Amino acid sequence: MFDSLSSKFSSAFSALRSRGRIKSGDIDEIVAEIRTALIDSDVALEVADSFSASIKEKSLEALEQVNKSTNPSQGIFEIVNKELVAILGGQTRRIRMAKKAPTVIMLVGLQGAGKTSLAGKLALYLKNQGNTPVLVASDLQRPNAVTQLQQVGQSVGIPVFAPEPGNGVGDPVKVAQAGRKFAEDKLHNFVIIDTAGRLGVDDELMNQASKIRDAVNPDEILFVVDAMQGQDAVRTAKSFAQGVGFDGVVLTKLDGDARGGAALSIVSLLERPIMFSATGEKVSDFDLFHPDRMASRILGMGDVATLAEQAKAAIDPDISKKFEEKFARGDDFTLIDFLSQLQAMKKMGSMSKMLGMLPGMNSGAMKKQLENFDDSELVRTEAIIQSMTPAERLDVKILNGTRRARIAKGSGRQVSEVNNLVDRFTAAQKMMRQMRKGGGIPGMPGMGKMGGMGQIPGMPSLPAGNKQLPPKKKSKSGNPAKRAAEQG
């Protein structure tokens, strides 16, 4: 979503880094570039002006101190990062829990913003944290809205309270009230109420949402907005803030290719935090919105914290423990281990998305690599391994030509692809053996000692005290001609 903004920020700082000592004119130039980047990304003009003015003021104040450092541009970078975190909301905002269960969450927004799908994603998110949410179908206006919510609930294993068929039949206020009572009776600790939307803001929409709000007294009212909506998102948010009121924003379609700056404007202009974001169509593509992490991604520093959280959630701790024990015992890394790692990576979602969270991935060359990355490669690799017998997965050395041809046929791939996988795996297996012996990572020259784990092959050994041992004498060849050549 913020790729365009990220690219322009990266370009601006690249130019600043090349100048060494920074002058006030350089500050003016980068501030102008930042302002243009924000406006081009659909950030409201008043927000872009305020943000740029704040950066300019703080950068000029810190200019003398910044120029004393070995990397002056880094000081300006840190100021921009801090201001960007602030414009995104500052602190991560979590759901306020009710003093007495259930905690009631009411979703509001225009039709097409993705409220119903979002309700299922939020419910699954809460369920994965050990909660017992229930979905309430109070959108009785949009055709098949109730049916859609029931299907969403079924897909994520969440009960749906839907006493009315919808399609214009039933009272949404009474359904919301009954849904809360249902949650209390069945001991659900969260109630998520899906309300009706309209194609545009009107009095009927606001009156209905206000009546539901007054009837159930929600602990959180979340405004669901399509992140690709542009400046209309700000106008719609203002209307809901005045007509119904809301506590936080949920961004849907954050994986889209629109400019996305309107999302920054909502936080700044309405002083409401972005609480959650949906980054894809899968029910798992949903998480808390962390302003500091998003700022880090926009500025090209990646989002390693989110990547680590996703990895932790995807990897079975029992399997991870067994792998660590196996590594400690000195057992070989096998294709069985590799297959379990592949399956864990698939749970984490798109590989291109994951790699995009690494620092430096917003550069032009890396972006092109990510765009060309084929996520189906994991599926093809998994198919090849699953076409092997248990014995073949344990020991790739037994994979002769006949076996490889059978595996290729069974997985629907070419023999050359099987050969390529075996070659890459053998290299990885060799690396694991080297690491276990304390030799570091092969093929990484210039790394020196790695935390006391030994030396990299081909580099001189440095024992305790950093005293260099005398070079070992080379043995002489038994061939007279070859020995004469060596001595020459």
% of residues, the chain, pLDDT over 90:
30
pLDDT at 400: 93
Is residue 168's pLDDT more than 80? yes
Helix (H, G, I), strand (E, B) or coil at 454: coil
**What is the average pLDDT score of the chain?**
78
pLDDT tens digit sequence for 340-370? 777 776 666 666 666 555 555 555 555 555 5
CATH architecture of 308-436: Orthogonal Bundle (1.10)
Is residue 482's pLDDT more than 70? no
pTM of model > 0.85:
no
pLDDT tens digit sequence for 179-205? 999 999 999 999 999 998 877 777 888
State the chain's maximal CA–CA distance in angstroms: 102
* Domain parsing of the chain, residue ranges: 3-87, 103-299, 308-436
Is residue 297's pLDDT more than 90? no
State whether CATH 3.40.50.300 applies to domain 103-299: yes
Is residue 387's pLDDT more than 80? yes
**Pairwise pLDDT comparison (102 vs 5), residue with the higher score:** 102
C-alpha to C-alpha distance for 313 and 33, rounded to whole angstroms: 39
pLDDT at 442: 40
Asked if 302 and 370 touch (Cβ cutoff 8 Å), the reply is: no
C-alpha to C-alpha distance for 247 and 266, rounded to whole angstroms: 12
CATH architecture of 3-87: Up-down Bundle (1.20)
pLDDT at 460: 32
Is residue 327's pLDDT more than 90? no
**What b/e sequence results for 402-424 when a residue is b if at least 16 CB atoms lie within 10 Å of its CB, and e otherwise?**
ebbebbbeebebeeebbeebbee
pLDDT tens digit sequence for 29-71? 888 988 888 888 778 888 889 989 999 999 898 888 888 887 8
- Of 148-162, 233-247, 307-321, where does the model show the most confidence? 148-162
Is residue 220's pLDDT more than 60? yes
Element (H, E) at 106: strand 103-108
